[in-house]
Amino acid sequence: MSLMFKVRDLLRPRSDVLKEAGIEPGFSVLDFGCGPGGYIAPLEVLVGPSGKIYAFDIHPLAIQEIKKMAKKKGLENIETIESDCRTGLPDNCLDTVLLYDVFHDLTNPNEVLKELHRVLKADGTLSFSDHHMKEEEVLTRVTGAGIFKFVRKGRKTYSFAKAD
């Protein structure tokens, strides 16, 4: 599976997707469902040394890959979180959450959205992409609970903000 992601990242660079998220130096970003870390290296460039990246995944092997990559590349602003929903992060601490290609597979998507809402800052962005879902389903499912509002559609992502 890791090899499949590496081929994908070569053909469709993750940095192209991240451009739509509006990430700036110093931002705190959560990559929810980070997998083997295809977004981590380009994220590190965007947030810079003053930023923070939280790599979140349910799979221990994914977390091991992130730790190995961070050590190999000397990345000190990456923290891993192994869980199925709860991040353990404080309220209102993140500038951006990436929710890419995992929503369709979540056991409790509404609980995940509540958790992401809790950890996002008031002016934070939920950057969403899931090629397994049609646009109408994305918009309905993310905004359905009334905690997120649709902001804009990019070429590869949808951006949402906190509704309250």
Q: Residue 66 CB: number of other CB atoms within 10 A?
A: 26
Query: If one looks up domain 2-162 in CATH, what number appears?
Result: 3.40.50.150
First to last CA, the chain: 38
**Dihedrals φ, ψ of 64, to 5°?**
-60, -40
Q: Is the pTM value of this prediction over 0.85?
A: yes
Q: Check if the beta carbon of residue 94 is closer than 8 Å to that of residue 121.
A: yes
Q: How far is CA 137 from CA 4, 40, 130, in A?
A: 26, 27, 10
Domain boundaries, the chain: 2-162
| pLDDT tens-digit profile, the chain (164 residues) | 455 555 545 555 567 889 999 999 999 999 999 998 889 989 999 999 999 999 999 999 999 999 999 999 998 999 999 999 999 999 999 999 999 999 999 999 999 999 999 999 999 999 999 999 999 999 999 999 999 999 999 999 999 999 97
For residue 164, what are its two tokens?
């309250």
For residue 2, what are its two tokens?
């890791």
Q: Check if the beta carbon of residue 16 is closer than 8 Å to that of residue 156.
A: yes
